[in-house]
Amino acid sequence: MTAIADLDVLLRSLDPAPRPGEYVFVGVPEGETASVPIEASVREDEGLSLVVTRQVADLAGWPYSFTAAWITLRVTSDLSAVGLTAAVAGALATEGISCNVIAGVFHDHLLVPVGRRDEAMAVLRRLGDQA
């Protein structure tokens, strides 16, 4: 599918889908990740930040402070598109739902508080319907 850059088309085509499981953010030393299934990673000045399942973090003994539900926006957004992250985060913020966004090559992924997943899904569906 061709990546979409037009914000109105993106919003009408969000097609949010929850991913099963619970996810956490952890900071770990470089050498501790060799045999661990990683969902996402970011190398920062302070070290390696990972998103892993809560089960993986618990088994590894890694501390975390935020447990998230993962929602994938199944629209194929162009990486140069303007306004998608702001529109999605703004709609969720209006409802008091925090949102951490990870952009992939094919889709955008939202990590929201695990207890507010269904509410976040409803907000995203409304956002698409209103576009």
112 domain residue, yes or no: yes
42 domain residue, yes or no: yes
22 domain residue, yes or no: yes
Quote the domain boundaries for residue 111: 7-130
2 domain residue, yes or no: no
Provide the pLDDT for residue 4.
95
SS (H, E, C) the chain: CCCECCHHHHHHCCCEEEEEEEEEEEEECHHHHCCCCCCEEEEECCEEEEEEEHHHHHHHCCCCCCEEEEEEECCCECCCCCCHHHHHHHHHHHCCCCCEEEECCCCEEEEEEHHHHHHHHHHHHHHHHHC
89 domain residue, yes or no: yes
Total count of domains within the chain: 1
pLDDT tens digits, 3-45: 999 999 999 999 999 999 999 999 987 766 667 899 999 988 8
pLDDT tens digits, 52-103: 999 999 998 999 999 999 999 999 999 999 999 999 999 999 999 999 999 9
75 domain residue, yes or no: yes
1 domain residue, yes or no: no
Provide the pLDDT for residue 87.
97
- Give the CATH number, domain containing residue 76: 3.30.2130.10
Provide the pLDDT for residue 81.
95
Residue 49 or 131, more confident: 49
115 domain residue, yes or no: yes
